[in-house]
Structure 1
Amino acid sequence: MALTCPICRNGMTPILQRSDNHSCGIRFGVPSPDLPRGEVTYGECGTCGHVATDYFNDWSDQTFRERIYNDSYHLYDPGYVLRRPTALARAVQAHYRPGIRVLDYGSGSGIVPQKLRQAGFDAHGYDPMTDALEPAAGSFDLVLCTEVLEHVPDPWQPAGIISRLARDGADVVLSTLLLPEAREHDFWWLGPRNGHIHAFSPRSLELLFPGMTSYSPGVHSLGAPPRGFLKDVQSAILCERETAEAV
């Protein structure tokens, strides 16, 4: 079956096949112990340059929880557990004033909003993989969406929610690794076991979020976030070799 680009809906050319247990951690010497259950084909869009697979399109949220975001997920993304959210919360506190309304979209275990509330922010989290409720009502002054877009079968869904909840003039800060950097090391970024469905091109990200600018290949924003904050976000999400014991 032909692949269709999830961003611009044009055709994609198959460019890569790998086992569904292939982990990003292989780059850092952390192979997956799971037995492969299928083969994942990624395609590249000839129009917007986006790279993605449709392997996960029919998965339910429960299937994602059982096969990707389960008790072993921290083995393949150790920073997800504590290091990354702690660093993100610290960055917000360093560059924004308490009292503003913050949404962490894709908040995982909820560490970022928890720490920000303790520091006096009106902070809320939402993670479609772990929360049954809708995001908090109203608009937000700062919206974070870090290491999330590459995991969502249809990125237009979070893009729509984020655009709706960000107030006029709000700062929106996203992180996801763009092409061509995501193509390095034999497409190390495309780890199905990590739930990595997409590698965005500058063009495909721009289609989702018109006017977005990139601080780095991994950090992107709308509005006028402090440059120091973007630098701190970049430091927080940098991939590095670490073990679960070090988290």
Structure 2
Amino acid sequence: MIHPSRCPLCRSPGARAYAEVRARRYVECVRCRLVSLAPEQRPASTAERQHYATHENHPADTRYRAFLDRLALPLVERVPAGAEGLDYGAGPGPTLSVMLAERGFRTAVYDPFFAPDLGPLRRSYDFITCTEVVEHFHSPADEFDRLNRLLRPGGWLGVMTEMLREGRAFADWHYIRDPTHVCFYRPATMVWIAARFGWTIEFVHRSVVLFRKSLASGFPTV
């Protein structure tokens, strides 16, 4: 069955039905391989904010710091000393920005619900981090376009999200139980994103991807 909506990532028309789990309908794009929740079933912003406010992440939590180090450690090995960054989608308890500042990297924060000041979005950065964020994007095409604009030539984008892999039982996957998770990326989807923007890509962990923007500022299309 073909779903009439466009893919929220590559904007291709039509998508095939992928799964229905607990009355939630998911479709898969045949072009970029993104799996997404049917648009009419995505949560309203008020429900999203209420759910995010239940998160109890904070800089003093050593387990949470270890979790974030999956992205932070490989990132700081690649960015130059004094690099400036942005934690995009920092959530109610910004922690990665604190960890990076402790390592000498000044890091601004932006979150549409908890740090909505648009000032940080009027600058550009040597690196941007998105930890457990991209699965919440209702319009990933627009969000990745914005991230590309915010990133300086030669800059790094670090993305942490659990990826949908072959052989995984989708209906039993804990990641889809979060009502605010609406987009699910395959490794092939990440490769498509890199090609879309002319970025290089490194899979540094099962759930962490590092993209690097070309030193040239061209904007390839796929």
* Bucket of the pairwise TM-score, normalised by the shorter protein: 0.7 to 0.9
Displacement of 1:143 in angstroms is 1.4
CA distance in 2, matches of 1:113, 1:131: 13
1:1-247 correspondence runs (5 A): 2-8=4-10, 9-19=12-22, 39-55=23-39, 59-66=43-50, 68-71=51-54, 73=55, 82=61, 83-85=63-65, 87-88=67-68, 91=73, 95=77, 99-108=82-91, 109-134=93-118, 136=120, 137-181=122-166, 184-187=168-171, 188=173, 190-210=175-195, 211-215=199-203, 216-223=205-212
What TM-score does the superposition give when structure 2 sets the normalisation length? 0.72
Deviation per CA, 1:173-203: give whole Å up to 9, x if none.
Answer: 212233325x613340542425221222344
CA RMSD of aligned residues (A): 3.2
* Inter-CA distance 59–177: structure 2 relative to 1 (3 Å threshold): closer
CA distance in 1, matches of 2:85, 2:151: 9
Question: What percent of counterpart residues are identical?
Answer: 23
1:186 partner letter: F
Number of equivalenced pairs:
199
Structure 1 unmatched ranges of 5 or more = 20-38, 225-247
3-state SS of 1:204 partner = helix
1:147 partner letter: E
Displacement of 1:139 in angstroms is 1.8
